[in-house]
């Protein structure tokens, strides 16, 4: 009986350990998803990366406006025509990430510095939240809510 209890305890402990590692791994993936999506889409102004990071029905709620993938693609394509194109450097500070059953939400501070020819011209701050879902191709952002914040 003692051996059976020890075996059951070891199985439960091992299962819990794997679950915790999986959650830590998923949290890291969600953080990378947010960071990379801003770098690959918004800093590079590259609409081709939208499908890589956003679901087909992705919504961006930005200062009272609703943006779809098409809205974002049109904005990015037009921004590439404006010269000179500013360099955008993002700094993401994760506040919290929660994951349950293939869905996640993340809250974070987003700071972006826009510069022309290495001369800082503008700093912008947002307080944001996003939801993500686990797809057959990995985690993708499903919704992002963005509120402009005062500079820190």
CATH tag for 26-88+97-126+142-148 (out of 3.10.450.50, 3.40.50.150, 3.90.1170.50, 3.40.50.1220)? 3.10.450.50
Backbone phi and psi for residue 117, each to the nearest 5 degrees, phi listed first: 50, 50
Digit-coded pLDDT (tens) for 74-122? 999 999 998 888 999 999 999 999 999 999 999 999 999 999 887 778 9
CA distance 97 to 128: 12
CA distance 44 to 47: 9
Digit-coded pLDDT (tens) for 45-82? 999 999 999 999 999 999 899 999 999 999 999 999 98
Q: What is the pTM of this model?
A: 0.82
Domain ranges across the chain: 26-88+97-126+142-148
């Amino acid at each position: 009986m003692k051996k059976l209890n020890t075996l059951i305890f070891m199985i439960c402990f091992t299962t819990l350990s794997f679950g915790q590692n999986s959650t830590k791994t998923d949290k890291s993936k969600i953080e990378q998803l947010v960071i990379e999506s801003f770098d690959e889409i918004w800093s590079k102004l590259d609409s081709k990366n939208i499908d890589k990071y956003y679901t087909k029905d992705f919504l961006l709620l930005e200062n009272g406006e609703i943006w779809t993938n098409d809205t974002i693609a049109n904005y990015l394509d037009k921004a590439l025509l404006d010269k000179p194109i500013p360099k955008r450097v993002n700094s993401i500070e994760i506040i919290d990430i929660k994951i349950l059953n293939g869905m996640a939400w993340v809250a974070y501070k987003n700071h972006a510095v826009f510069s022309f020819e290495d001369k800082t011209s503008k700093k912008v701050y947002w307080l944001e939240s996003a939801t993500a879902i686990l797809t057959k191709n990995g985690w993708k952002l499903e919704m992002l809510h963005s509120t402009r914040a005062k500079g820190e």
